[in-house]
Structure 1
Amino acid sequence: MKRTLRHICSLSAILCLFGSLATASESSSPEGGLAESSLELNKQMIDFLQSSGVSEEQPPVERMQGILDALYGAEDGFTYDSAANFSAQKAFEEKRGNCVSLAMLFTSFARSVGLDARFNQLDYTPIWENVDGILVETIHINVLVYVGGNQYVVDAQPELVELASHSRNPVSDERVFSHFYNNQGLLALADGKLELAGELIQRAIEMDPENGTAWQNRGLYHFRSSNKKEGEESLVKAAELNRSSSSACFQLSAYYEAVGDTNRSEKYAKLGSKRSKRNPFYHYYRSQQFAEQGDLKKATKHLEYALKILPSYSTFQIALMDLKQRQEQDKGLASKPELARFH
């Protein structure tokens, strides 16, 4: 399958707390020690790149497309696997990986042939999961390649490329490495390897002390280890660092409710709800829920609000058109009850 590049004109990509845990039984858990997250090419990767014919002598766009063709062009090409949290070298060996792994893999190749490739973290989280009645957001990483005054989006999930054109937030290598170690820590935690989990999550924080997601999972680790005070402090830190995330707030609300601190429980519940409503994908998720329940009016309202936050996003536009068509069909049936009896 040939992957193409999305061009963004003019200048101006875990990582999921519960999502990783939910798929941990199907994942490749760490085999002890701290995994390597270097972007350096090993000999096999160098040989692969050379055999693909990609070189620094080619124009930048040709280099980018050449790397993509080499990775994804063949029938047995590399595949996206949300449960495969690998280093770039391991992803190359396994020919699969999650968004972090495949972003690191492409970036390794791109930089080795002189391309200005940078990691990008989506401002808005495209996937929401319902965990024990709480909507939890995920984080997605892809790559931006800078050529002159233009940007090109490279994403292992083509359906998210359009979103990247609306959500450009370049992040450091350290942030992505931190996400990688954080994911590894969650896998170890899900396997009951508490000591290894603590080491990996601590490594994530050392790589990037400002990574609120890692602090949030440090809190989860401490709660699993029965260190409630450390868990609480870590979640408070996470809520302060990641001001767009709601999940740490909801976790704090649940914790304070459990210990009888009603005031702080309500405080963080309100803060979590406020943050959720700023995310267009929260409204998209809620719209889908109401549509499944048959409440098309509320479903439409949430989609319209999503489009106010993220205008011209085609997924929302198409869903809104579908909802309005359903509403028109319902109106037609309601105005002709005698016909409705025979359906």
Structure 2
Amino acid sequence: MLRRRCEVTAMNGWKSLALLALLGSAACPAPAAPPPAAVPTALPETAVQPVPSPEQIVAIPPALRALLQQRVIAAGTSREQRLERLVHLIFDEDGMHLEYDPYATSTIAETWQTGRANCLSFTLMFVTLARAAGIDARVQEVAQVVTWHQDEGVIYNVGHVNVGLTVNGRTAVVDLDRNVLYDRYGPRPITEQRALAHFYNNRGAAQMADGNTAQARAYLDAAIAMSDDFPAGWNNLGVLDTRLGRLDQARHDYEKALELQPRHVAALTNASALYRKLGDTRRADRLAVRLQQVQKTDPFAQFRLGNEAEQRHDYANAIDHYQRAIRLYGTAHQFHFGLARALFLAGDSRRASREMTRARDLSGENADTLRATYQAKLDSLQRWRQRTAAN
């Protein structure tokens, strides 16, 4: 279990409030499923269970409602006090003592029972409880994020959700990861229907991964019924239909995803592979070219490609991609650190030191632990250079 800090990031002059929380490494919501390499061997289907209704997903259990009334609503006179008490109720040992589980896309009742949740489950629960306590809260969506894990490198995620708040006219964001890097658009409020579509889509992807295709379809159909303009849901339906050999339907699914979001990387990748499988190489090539164009202008895609090249020990290519990412998004400390690491591994310690310094300076005044980590790495690099020069 990896403990991090949940940060209430203030805007409009509201002082930032850092509170204990939990963070894991999985994307939240779950990433769109990749194209299958081959149709897997069919597994015995279990009976399809009814999907929970929207009301069941966000229903507050009576015991939790009583605790909310006692420890948050009755005990806090102001909304700021209620907000702080709500966070303590969720994470303190004498409260829910919530633990992170990347696979726990859960209803509020299930989260209350198990004490486990992923980012999406946490966000749905937090927003629901906050509203019950008289706090203006909403689910927010980020299309892409990069998450920094102190000594474990960086992880590229396709999506993320967090909580948006308005308290006494001032706005703030509650996020499980204080070191998350948002894409250029940042968090955007979404409707309740879209948030619930994420829930059904996550569960559908999980069922598909387990080989329960009928149950997966029930959840993915529910996601589309909840929000038919949800490209991730259509893409995952395309993956499911491809796995089942329903290639004409899969083509429709991917085309719908790309109609809604022409730059959707997973749908572009999957659709291109499908058209190639169908023998339509002209359309496959056209989509592949579009994918390359999207990646060239997307700093997150360039960062991911750099990370993949680094894992292959192709440091020259990694440096090239990291530099492109920085040209597109120059204030991301994660990108500068990636470049510093690749430069060091390529033997260019002087430029690596410069990029490490830049990463440290960009990490933010409040990110004391991260700044200290960068400084320690920078000191280690400088000592290594001194020893090398002495020899």
Q: TM-score range by the shorter chain?
A: 0.7 to 0.9
Deviations 1:81-136 (A, max 9, x none): 21111122212221111221111011111111111111111132437xxxxxxxx9
Contact kept in structure 1, 2:6 and 2:177, CA below 8 Å: no
Q: Does 1:59 align with 2:41?
A: no
Q: Does 1:16 align with 2:31?
A: yes
SS at match of 2:102: coil
- Taking structure 1 as the reference length, the TM-score comes to 0.80
> Corresponding residue for 2:9?
6
Instruction: Say which of 181, 204, 209 aligns to 1:185.
Output: 204
Q: 1:243 and 1:60 mapped to 2: Cα distance? A: 41
Counterpart-to-counterpart distance in 1, 2:343 and 2:142: 29
Give the distance between the partners of 2:271 and 2:176, measured in 1 at CA: 33
Output the CA distance in 1 between the equivalents of 2:50 and 2:207: 11
Q: Secondary structure in 1 aligned to 2:197?
A: helix
Distance change >3 Å, CA 190–CA 317, structure 1 → 2: closer
Aligned partner of 2:124 in structure 1 is 104
| Structure 1 counterpart of 2:49, from 32, 38, 43 | 32
Q: Which residue of 2 aligns with 1:80?
A: 100
Farther off after superposition, 111-120 or 145-154: 145-154
Letter of the structure 1 residue corresponding to residue 296 of structure 2 = K
> What's 2:41 paired with?
none
Deviation at 1:230, TM superposition (A): 0.8
For the structure 1 residues 94 and 279, does the alpha-carbon distance in structure 2 shift closer, same or farther, using more than 3 Å as the test?
Answer: farther
1:207 Cα deviation from its structure 2 partner = 0.4
Of the structure 1 ranges 261-270 and 146-155, higher mean CA displacement relative to structure 2 is found in: 146-155
1:112 counterpart letter in structure 2: A
1:150, distance to aligned residue in structure 2 (A): 3.2
Pick the aligned partner of 2:318 from 299, 303, 311. 299
> Do 2:33 and 2:239's aligned partners in 1 also have CA atoms closer than 8 Å?
no
Query: SS of the counterpart of 1:158?
Result: coil
Please say if residues 144 and 157 of structure 2, whose CA atoms lie closer than 8 Å, have aligned partners that are also in contact.
no
Amino acid in the other structure paired with 1:278:
T
Shift in alpha-carbon separation, 1:204–1:10, aligned structure 2, 3 A: farther
- For the residue of structure 1 that corresponds to 2:348, the secondary structure is helix
Question: Do the aligned partners of 2:224 and 2:233 also contact (CA within 8 Å) in 1?
Answer: yes
The residue number in structure 2 matching 1:251 is 270
Question: Structure 2 counterpart of 1:32, which letter?
Answer: Q
CA distance in 2, matches of 1:69, 1:244: 40
- The answer on whether the counterparts of 2:6 and 2:175 sit within 8 Å (CA) in structure 1 is no
- Assess, with a 3 A threshold, how the Cα gap between structure 1 residues 253 and 244 changes in structure 2: closer, same or farther: closer
Q: Distance in 2 between matches of 1:142 and 1:73?
A: 20
2:317 is the alignment partner of 1:314 = no
Distance, in Å, in 1 between the alignment partners of 2:74 and 2:335 is 40
Moved more, 33-42 or 167-176: 33-42
Q: Distance in 1 between matches of 2:256 and 2:53?
A: 27
Show the counterpart of 1:153.
173
8 Å contact kept, 1:125–1:279: no
Cα distance in 2 between the residues matched to 1:171 and 1:83: 22
**Equivalent residue letter for 2:9:** R
2:348 pairs with one of 308, 327, 331:
327
Partner AA of 1:144 in structure 2: G
Unaligned runs of 5+ in 2: 15-27, 37-45, 148-155, 354-386
Partner secondary structure for residue 165 of structure 2:
strand
CA contact (8 A) 1:88 1:105 kept: yes
Structure 2 CA distance for partners of 1:6 and 1:330, relative to 1, 3 Å: closer
- Give the total of aligned pairs: 319
| 1:210 and 2:244 correspond | no
Q: Secondary structure at the match of 2:291?
A: helix
- Give, as a single letter, the amino acid of the residue that structure 1 aligns with 2:91: Y
Q: Secondary structure at the match of 1:5?
A: strand
1:277 aligns with 2:292: no
Cα 1:314/1:137, change in 2 over 3 Å: closer
Structure 1 residues 291 and 327 mapped into 2: Cα distance closer, same or farther (>3 Å)? Answer: farther
CA displacement, residues 196-248 of structure 1 (integer Å, 9 cap, x when unaligned) = 22222111111001001111111122223322111110111111212342111
Residue-by-residue CA offset, 1:110-168 (whole Å, 9 max, x unaligned)? 111111111111132437xxxxxxxx9622111111234532111233332x5389712
Distance in 2 between residues matched to 1:43 and 1:80, nearest whole Å: 23
1-structure distance, mates of 2:329, 2:169: 24
User: Partner residue of 1:124?
Assistant: 144
CA contact (8 A) 1:37 1:87 kept: no
TM-align CA RMSD: 3.4
Cα deviation for residue 281 of structure 1 reads 2.3
| Structure-2 residue corresponding to 1:237 | 256
Would the aligned equivalents of 2:72 and 2:86 in 1 still touch at CA under 8 Å? no
* Percent of aligned pairs with the same amino acid: 21
Unaligned runs of 5+ in 1: 22-28, 128-135, 333-338
- Residue 330 of structure 1: CA displacement? 8.8
* 2:349 maps to amino acid: E
Structure 1 contact 246–271 (Cα < 8 Å) conserved: no
Q: Is the 8 A contact 1:85 1:97 kept in 2?
A: yes
Query: Could you give the per-residue CA deviations for residues 25-52 of structure 1, whole angstroms, max 9, x where no partner exists?
Result: xxxx998111244333220221231343
Cα separation, 1, equivalents of 2:244 and 2:13? 49
Q: Say which SS state the counterpart of residue 215 (structure 1) adopts.
A: helix
- Larger displacement relative to structure 2 (87-96 or 310-319): 310-319
Using the TM superposition, give the Cα deviation of residue 65 of structure 1 relative to its aligned residue in structure 2, in angstroms: 1.8
